[in-house]
Amino acid sequence: MPVLSAGEGPLNRGQRSLIGGDQAVAVTIYDVAERAGVGIGTVSRVLNDSPQVREKTRQRVLAAIEEFNYRPSPIAQRLSLRKTLAIGVITPFFTRPSFVERLRGVEAVIAESEYDLIIYNVETVARRDICFQEVPTSHRVDGLIIISLSPGDEDVARWAEAGVPVILVDADHPLLTRVVTDDVAGGYKATRHLIELGHRKIAYISNPLDNPFGFTSSRYRYRGYRQALADFGLPFQPEYHQESDHSRAQTRAATERLLSLDDPPTAIFVASDTRAMGVLEALKARGLKVPDDVAVIGYDDIEVAEYLGLSTVHQPLYETGALGVELLLKQIDDPERSPMRVELPLELVVRQTTVG
């Protein structure tokens, strides 16, 4: 039974069926106002917990809301407030364990806020470029978290012009607030650990130092690795540095190359735990004992590392994501906030792949 009212004004808004047959028709603030016998301003005030509504009125409005099972339209709110109430996250390979763990931190904090979380997954350089171009300027999000992808100066300038707050997690740019760890120190810790165990022939397997995505962690960890070798007076052997992509297969191949050297290493530092699995696989295939024949240390401390008994460098993945969002929310509230760099600590985790 349609609820109609005579056209008594230039605009006849809010006059619609409440029982729309199959067609669900949204109840609006006008319906509620009419039902409660108040103006739409008052309904809006009730919705927004404004103190300046008399308790009696408030109850009437709440009753009408309840009766109609009214829910305000977030879209209309957003248009009116000129906020999208959404936060975007641009992350590469969002299904890989380390990124998932960062996302978990991001999600946890956003879930507690009034914002929605929109994920932009990046698996190709082209898609990264599109995301960098489009997402910040498309009025889709009030703020942006970017994980492990470092923007260029032009990107940052464009985003500043668009007025979109951007926080980097595990990436760097001097003009943006960022949550990072010290990858050089991480590489150093891992390498020093192996040296202190008596190893002298230590290999390093990582991403290509120059890679199309511009991931920097492998390069910085490489620096730490070199530094540790130097500090302890060990020579650097170029053939001890092997590159592989993320895949186990390629990492196996890289490990094979190391093992086939005339003077193979006795320890391998791998720039991620997932890759370390490829190393362990290769060693097993060759019948080599870990850590007796070859010691292995990974990086990240993803969940499976504990299961595998993998020594590694613990990164606060969850925390970086969570902190990134917290900083973003502050920045949204106060856009004038000057950029800061937050560094979270790393921790060496010693397990059975280095210490029998």
Q: Is residue 156 a contact partner of residue 290, using CB atoms and an 8 Å limit?
A: no
Compare residues 104 and 139 and give the one whose CB is closer to DNA.
139
Residues whose CB is less than 8 angstroms from the CB of residue 296 and which lie 6 or more positions away in sequence, other chains included? 267, 268, 270, 276, 279, 280, 283, 290, 310, 311, 353, 354
Q: Which of 15, 57, 73, 211 binds a copy of itself (CB under 8 A)?
A: 73
Q: Nearest distance from residue 21's CB to DNA, in Å? A: 17
- What is d(CA 34, CA 310) in angstroms, rounded to the nearest whole number? 66
- What is d(CA 205, CA 191) in angstroms, rounded to the nearest whole number? 12
Helices (H), the chain: 29-36, 40-47, 55-68, 74-81, 97-111, 125-137, 153-162, 183-196, 217-231, 248-259, 273-285, 303-308, 317-333
Q: Is 80 in the site for DNA (CB under 7 A)?
A: yes
How many CB atoms are located within 10 Å of the residue 64 CB? 21
Choose the one of DNA, a copy of itself, none that binds residue 13, judging by a C-beta under 5 to 8 angstroms depending on kind.
Answer: DNA
Choose the one of a copy of itself, DNA, none that binds residue 214, judging by a C-beta under 5 to 8 angstroms depending on kind.
Answer: none
Q: Is 42 in the site for DNA (CB under 7 A)?
A: yes
Of the listed pieces 51-59, 60-68, 134-142, 344-352, which binds a copy of itself according to CB under 8 A?
Answer: 134-142
Compare residues 70 and 188 and give the one whose CB is closer to a copy of itself.
70
Compare residues 58 and 140 and give the one whose CB is closer to a copy of itself.
140
Q: Which of 13, 50, 112, 119 binds a copy of itself (CB under 8 A)?
A: 119
Choose the one of a copy of itself, DNA, none that binds residue 39, judging by a C-beta under 5 to 8 angstroms depending on kind.
Answer: DNA
Q: Nearest distance from residue 6's CB to a copy of itself, in Å? A: 25
Which amino acid makes up residue 330? K
Q: Is 325 in the site for a copy of itself (CB under 8 A)?
A: no
Q: Is 353 in the site for a copy of itself (CB under 8 A)?
A: no
Task: Please tell me whether the peptide bond between 212 and the residue prior to it is cis, using omega within 30 degrees of 0.
Answer: no
Q: Could you tell me the sign of the dihedral formed by the alpha carbons of 160, 161, 165, 170, in that order?
A: negative
Of the listed pieces 70-78, 214-222, 286-294, 332-340, which binds DNA according to CB under 7 A?
Answer: 70-78
* Both structure tokens of 32: 């509620």
Q: Which of 2, 12, 17, 26 binds a copy of itself (CB under 8 A)?
A: 26
Residues whose CB is less than 8 angstroms from the CB of residue 128 and which lie 6 or more positions away in sequence, other chains included? 90, 92, 122, 149, 213
Q: Which of 18, 62, 72, 326 binds DNA (CB under 7 A)?
A: 72
Tell me which DSSP letter residue 334 carries. Answer: -
Q: Which of 63, 76, 130, 304 binds DNA (CB under 7 A)?
A: 76
Beta bridge pairs of residue 241? 204
Q: Is 29 in the site for DNA (CB under 7 A)?
A: yes
Compare residues 71 and 104 and give the one whose CB is closer to DNA.
71
Q: Is residue 144 a contact partner of residue 134, using CB atoms and an 8 Å limit?
A: no
Entry field: residues in the chain: 356
Q: Is 17 in the site for a copy of itself (CB under 8 A)?
A: no
Interface ranges with DNA (CB under 7 A): 9-13, 26, 28-30, 37-45, 47-48, 51-54, 56-58, 70-73, 75-77, 79-82
Interface ranges with a copy of itself (CB under 8 A): 22-24, 26, 69, 71-76, 78-79, 84, 86, 94-95, 97, 100-101, 103-104, 107, 111, 116-119, 121, 137-140, 161-163, 248, 277, 281, 304, 307, 335-336
